[in-house]
Amino acid sequence: MITYRRPRSADWLAFALQVRRTGHAIFEMEADERHHNPMGSCTAAIYCDLAVQRWATPTPLLWRKAETFTTIELKINFLRAVRKATLTAEARVVKSAALWDTSSARVKDQTGKLVAKGAAPA
């Protein structure tokens, strides 16, 4: 099994791993003014980085040996603007294949409202 290595972006995004098990991970972060775009809401990059890091976390637990990977495609829907919130991103491996895994992620605010969702093969 590959150990979880906290990415450097975790310091700026201030996210924390809450749950990690085979094919499943949950992260949480406090979104605030540091993450805003010029219009006063969280920039799309916040959703993308939060989702991509989440996808990357459950995938290595499925591998039998140490391997590396990269995101080869990213699909994300931005459903709601966020200004200040506790965001929770939950990722699940949808399909694990010989050459790539496909994962999905859902990002919600502290009230449980869905703010973004997406999928990515890696």
Q: Which domains does the chain have, with CATH numbers?
A: 9-121 (3.10.129.10)
Distance of CA 13 to the CA centre of its chain: 11
Write out the two tokens for 35.
């993450």
Highest-confidence range of 8-17, 38-47, 87-96, by mean pLDDT?
38-47
Amino acid letter at 39? M
HSE-up (13 A, CA, CB side) for residue 31: 29
What pLDDT shows up at residue 40?
92
What's the rounded Cα separation, in Å, for the pair 62 and 122?
Answer: 13
Measuring CA to CA, which residue among 86, 84, 90 is closest to residue 18? 90
Helix (H) or strand (E) holding 91: strand 85-96
The tokens for 56 are 């990357």
pLDDT computed for residue 115 by the predictor: 94
Tokens 């972006």 correspond to what residue?
9
> Is the pTM above the cut of 0.85?
no
More confidently predicted of 9 and 50: 50
Per cent of the chain over pLDDT 90 is 27
* pLDDT greater at residue 3 or residue 13: 13
Q: Which amino acid is at 113?
A: K
Q: What pLDDT, on the 0 to 100 scale, is given for residue 26?
A: 85
Q: pLDDT tens digit string along 45-82?
A: 888 877 766 555 555 555 555 556 667 788 899 999 99
- Count helices and strands (H / E) in the chain: 2, 6
